[in-house]
């Protein structure tokens, strides 16, 4: 290799590195995410595990969502496409889940307590925060930020 050839290669290395990084996904922007952080006590849900459901939903639909309807969505095959995530909550163990923010929709978080109180679900509307913090009581949401 001649000296002039090595100078050409050296000048092109930054461009080649950029192209390679782009192809590998480094530096590419990803969809915005929202993290749901859940805290509970050992007494939550009588100490028994239960499901939490994170769902993309319109506010008007959320208002009419029933406990039975959400439970049916979790276990439907195939699962309802509005469900972003469904996970088991273990009382007294903090949980944290991240999902993609749904474009143009709110995020509903539903708690499938064995004996749900009136506050078994919450909603956050756009613009969505990057983190939704939820504290659970015995059978309902005690606070959410």
pLDDT, average across residues 94-107: 96
Name the strands in the sheet holding 50-57, side by side, starting at the edge strand that comes first in the sequence. 83-89, 50-57, 106-112, 121-124
11 vs 144, residue with greater confidence: 144
Closest Cα partner for 86 from 59, 56, 66? Answer: 56
- Please report which confidence band the pLDDT of residue 5 belongs to, taking 50, 70 and 90 as the band edges: low
Q: What is residue 75's predicted lDDT score, i.e. its pLDDT? A: 86
Closest Cα partner for 46 from 93, 122, 114? Answer: 114
Please state the pTM of the whole predicted model.
0.78
Q: What is the mean pLDDT of the chain?
A: 86
Residue 24: exposed, middle, or buried by beta-carbon count in 10 A (0-12, 13-18, 19+)?
Answer: exposed
What lies within 8 Å, CB to CB, of 6 at 6+ separation is: none
pLDDT of 54-79, one tens digit each?
999 999 999 999 999 999 999 899 98
pLDDT of 6-16, one tens digit each?
554 455 545 44
pLDDT of 22-58, one tens digit each?
444 444 557 899 999 999 999 999 999 999 999 999 9
């Amino acid at each position: 290799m001649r000296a002039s050839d090595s100078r050409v290669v050296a000048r092109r290395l930054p461009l080649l590195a950029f192209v390679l990084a782009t192809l590998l996904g480094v530096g590419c922007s990803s969809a915005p995410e929202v993290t749901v952080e859940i805290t509970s006590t050992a007494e939550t849900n009588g100490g028994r595990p239960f499901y939490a459901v994170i769902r993309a939903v319109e506010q008007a639909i959320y208002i009419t969502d029933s406990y039975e309807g959400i439970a049916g969505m979790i276990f439907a095959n195939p699962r309802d496409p509005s469900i972003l995530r469904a996970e088991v909550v273990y009382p007294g163990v903090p949980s944290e889940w991240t999902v993609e923010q749904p474009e143009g929709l709110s995020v509903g978080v539903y708690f499938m307590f064995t004996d749900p109180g009136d506050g078994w679900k919450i909603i956050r509307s756009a613009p969505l925060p990057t983190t939704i913090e939820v504290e659970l009581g015995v059978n309902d949401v005690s606070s959410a930020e």
